[in-house]
A and B are shown apart, each in its own frame.
Chain A
Amino acid sequence: MEGLLPDLDVIRKDFPILERTLAGGQPLVYLDSANTSQKPQVVIDTMVDHLERHNANIARAMHQLGAESTEAYEAARDKVVAFLNAPSRNEVIFTKNATEALNLLARTIDLGPGDNVVITEMEHHSNIVSWQLACERSGAELRWFGLTDDGHLDLSNADQLVDERTKVVAFTWVSNMLGTINPVTDLVARAAAVGALSVIDASQAAPQLPVDVQAVGCDFLVFTGHKVTGPTGIGVLWGREELLNQLPPFHGGGEMIETVTMARSTYAKAPHRFEAGTPPIVEAVGLGAAVDYLGHIGLEAIHAHEQAITAYALEGLQSVPGLTVLGPLDAAQRGGAVSFELAGVHPHDIAQVLDSRGVAVRAGHHCAKPAHARFGVQASTRMSSYLYTTPAEIDALVEALHHTRRYFKVD
């Protein structure tokens, strides 16, 4: 199959969990990577090594371990800088996850009555609710791009939505439900044309596409560590340095200050301005190892692999009677998450039967209820592949779906 990673067998051996079996001796077929990715040995080993040999608090411990820990944490920042092709290391802020990064922006960007924020109907709840709260607090208006029937952004009324009172245009690069890849440079240009800030949620893009913040030209971009083969508990906010330093602090505490008196404080510049308190040190170190690992394999190669697997999956899924794929049917226009409905069987029941065959998928609304509602769907089943997914695993999914139909006596 063209496009697959050439050393797929070797790559799979990097992920120890792929060796394990489940109840009944079933081998694991992990197709839930858009939910969280599995972790390569190098990430696990790097984190264990840090905890075993270098653990200390950072930037405040005046001893050798403190220096080593600080160096490892800041080296991880440099790896993320390279991963995003960011122009300055001061622009990469470690957060808890992408949700916290989005909330940081929604909390600190100045909004007022008469302003508006434009999002899209295909956002993850984190890029909807955080802006709803910001608009409720400030009196700004929330607007959104609708979706076309084939699962793309409806840009037909873009000129009315994004106007001179727009302060923020926030959108996902790749939809976690529909898989759609959005025209990010076009959206960034629309925001820039009216002087609005552009915010990209790259949670689903960063694992599978080359992300170059300079090429995209956006103002802010967020992603989460655990979907790029890193650990949970660590996310990234990237922003233009001059913009970050104009934002007020988010959390107050240690590390984010310049000086503190009982009456008032002055604040450090980015990135430390937004890293109050002891950060998730070993998680950051693990994320550094993860983006390094992806960089060695190459995001272009990973993207080609995902597209090949997705095309194969779309073909296989359509061989299942009564199955409807939500979102674009052309693999070139989408990422590696494919949501679908199967007539006569509820997604939870599908996921349960698939699980009994070792096939792990997600069922529900995938934290994208409005996108489901747009297509009149209450819940869906989602398979999502990654760099370790094989065509044989897609075959196992398709066979398990045929079995599911027999199990529930559909027909």
Chain B
Amino acid sequence: MSTDLDALYQDIILDHYKNPHHQGLRDPFESEVHHVNPTCGDEVTLRVHLADGPDGPVVQDVSYDAVGCSISQASTSVLTDLVIGKPVAEAMEIHQTFLELMQGKGQVEPDEDVLEDGIAFAGVAKFPARVKCALLSWMAWKDATAQAQTEGETR
């Protein structure tokens, strides 16, 4: 059990938990969402700022204010590292890869080239109750990005 526990609480996760990257809410932003995990009460307010790039929109900034467990906090920090500066299309692919890892019940081999520090969450997929913790901010980011893009189209 302790090996499973160590697989869950990898040092990378604990490092991100103690020193989260890109924390705080910043301007400018095109969309802001508030997502809650109703079963445990974890919450995240997340903003997305997109900019025009040569090949379509780019994720210029993701800022957030979140309360929750080490898994949800670290996952938010890793998310921002992975998507900030990337074209939206590529960031969405990373999102899909992370989602597949989390929903893979521990059977999916993580791709370090794509997920970088995100591979540390492979152990979380073995704890069904914690998958939602890891996905909270990722779902919020996808929602906010979709809203920001709609916003961009209507303008």
Contact = CB atoms under 8 A, between A and B. Distances in A.
Interface of A: 22-24, 26, 346-349, 352-353, 356, 363-365, 369, 372, 378-379, 407-409
Interface string B16-53: 00000000000000000000000111110000000000
A356 B130 contact: no
Nearest to B1: A24
Nearest to B70: A349
B114 to A, nearest CB: 27
Given A26-B1, A346-B68, A347-B69, A352 B41 contact: no
10 contacts: A26-B1, A346-B69, A348-B71, A348-B130, A348-B133, A353-B5, A356-B4, A363-B40, A372-B41, A409-B14
Contacts of B42: 379
A5 B129 CA distance: 35
A379 B5 contact: no
Contact of A365 (B8, B9, B41, B69): B41
A352 B67 contact: no
B2 interface: yes
Contacts, number: 53
B1 A346 contact: no
The residue in B43, B69, B71, B73 that gathers the most chain A C-beta atoms within 10 A of its C-beta is B69
B40 A364 contact: yes
Contacts of B68: 346, 348, 378
B1 A407 contact: no
Given A22-B1, A369-B41, 20 more contacts: A24-B1, A26-B1, A346-B69, A346-B73, A347-B69, A348-B69, A348-B70, A349-B71, A352-B5, A352-B9, A352-B130, A353-B5, A356-B2, A364-B39, A372-B41, A378-B41, A378-B68, A379-B41, A379-B42, A407-B9
Contacts of B8: 352
Nearest to A363: B40
A372 B41 CA distance: 11
The residue in B4, B9, B39, B41 that gathers the most chain A C-beta atoms within 10 A of its C-beta is B41
Contacts of B1: 22-24, 26, 356
Contacts of B39: 364
Contacts of A363: 40
The residue in A24, A348, A378 that gathers the most chain B C-beta atoms within 10 A of its C-beta is A348
B1 to A, nearest CB: 4
A173 to B, nearest CB: 25
B70 A364 contact: no
Nearest to B41: A365
Contacts of A347: 69
B49 to A, nearest CB: 27
A223 B51 CA distance: 57
Contacts of A353: 5
Nearest to B43: A378
A324 B39 CA distance: 23
Contacts of A348: 40, 68-71, 130, 133
Nearest to B3: A24
A363 B8 CA distance: 17
A216 to B, nearest CB: 33
Contacts of A22: 1
A349 B5 contact: no
